[in-house]
Amino acid sequence: MINDFPQALTIAGSENGGGAGMQADLHTLFAEHVYGTSVLTACVAGNSYGVHVIHKLPIDFINQEFKDIADDFKIKASKTGMLADANLINAVYKNYTKYDLGPLVVDPVIASNHGEMLLENSAIKTLKRKLIPIADVLTLNFYESQKLSGIQIKSDQDMKQVAEVLQELGANNIMIKGKNDNANRKVVKDYVLLKSHHDFWLSGQYYPTHHKDGTGDTLSAAITANLAKGMDVKASIIEAKSYVDDAIKHVINVGHKLGPINHYVKFQK
């Protein structure tokens, strides 16, 4: 059989430190036994100390990357990461809807783990109008959830309301990641609202670690990998959460400050 090995596409920015961005996505797809292809949107120069320079790629080049992927590979699932501005979001929308690239996981990267902006503020409207309505799975961290819904999250009920607002914008399945920035916390609680309106919480132990760069990218890439292998959305999310949990728990000592999580954890077991 030609082209039957599970293949996925990451549409994202490069983070040359390797902990987040496209590098985290490709590490994750590899660990999940899925062949990873990529459409590079922007390059970030940085490391575990922070983001230093951002360079966006030309739209013509991005169009060509999509064409080359579509001409050759059988993509079973795709994901988006850093898209930088409204022009890039529009280009990704046009290309994704033009080709057959499987279900789409949207990780609306707005800021880095260090707090630097990775998406221009003026692009939020385009993100909501173009990308969120075509998301099969939308994963949002606490900050992105508040920014995109306009709701201040103070309770579990607020997280549920955010998910409903985003589902009304057109996303099928929503995962809202709970607050995970307080060293005294014991548990992290993520909330999932499925297309069927079935909902559930995913609770896990909180690890007070500095090795947490790329947790969001890794989670969305693992969901994408699972979808590419034919798993359903619920199972894809549950397995992905368990992988990220393990990758945070089993620290690797790389970098001086905000280091990467352990994408190798599956090979070490």
Ligand X SMILES: Nc1ncnc2c1ncn2[C@@H]1O[C@H](COP(=O)(O)OP(=O)(O)OP(=O)(O)O)[C@@H](O)[C@H]1O
| Residue among 37 and 113 whose Cβ is closer to ligand MP5 | 113
| Residue among 82 and 159 whose Cβ is closer to ligand MP5 | 82
**3 state SS of 106:** strand
Residues 97-126 that bind ligand X (CB under 6 A): 113
What number of CA atoms fall less than 13 Å from residue 28's CA on the CB side?
37
Residues 28-67 that bind ligand MP5 (CB under 6 A): 44
Q: Which does 176 bind (CB under 5 to 8 A by kind): ligand MP5, ligand X, none?
A: none
| Residue among 20 and 193 whose Cβ is closer to ligand MP5 | 20
**What letter represents residue 192's amino acid?**
V
What number of CA atoms fall less than 13 Å from residue 259's CA on the CB side?
18
174 contacts ligand X (rule: CB under 6 A): no
Residue among 6, 8, 9, 13 that touches ligand MP5 (CB under 6 A): 13
**3 state SS of 226:** helix
DSSP state of 230: T
In the sheet with 173-176, reading across from the earlier edge strand, the strands are 50-56, 35-47, 7-15, 75-80, 104-106, 137-140, 173-176, 187-193, 199-205
Cβ atoms of residues 213 and 17 within 8 Å = yes
Cβ atoms of residues 91 and 63 within 8 Å = yes
Which residue stretch of 15-23, 184-192, 231-239, 247-255 sits at the interface with ligand MP5 (rule: CB under 6 A)? 15-23
| Residue among 14 and 149 whose Cβ is closer to ligand MP5 | 14
DSSP state of 99: S
User: Crossing angle for the helix pair 86-98 and 59-72, nearest 10 degrees?
Assistant: 20
Q: Which does 44 bind (CB under 5 to 8 A by kind): ligand MP5, ligand X, none?
A: ligand MP5
- Residue 208 CB, shortest distance to ligand MP5, in Å, is 17
DSSP state of 117: B
- Residue 118 CB, shortest distance to ligand MP5, in Å, is 6
What number of CA atoms fall less than 13 Å from residue 13's CA on the CB side?
33
Which residue stretch of 41-49, 119-127, 166-174, 206-214 sits at the interface with ligand X (rule: CB under 6 A)? 206-214
Which residue stretch of 128-136, 149-157, 177-185, 222-230 sits at the interface with ligand X (rule: CB under 6 A)? 177-185
- Residue 215 CB, shortest distance to ligand X, in Å, is 4
Using CB under 6 A as the criterion, which residues of the chain lie in contact with ligand X when the complex forms? 20, 113, 141, 177-178, 180, 188, 190, 204, 206-207, 209, 212-216, 219, 241, 244, 248
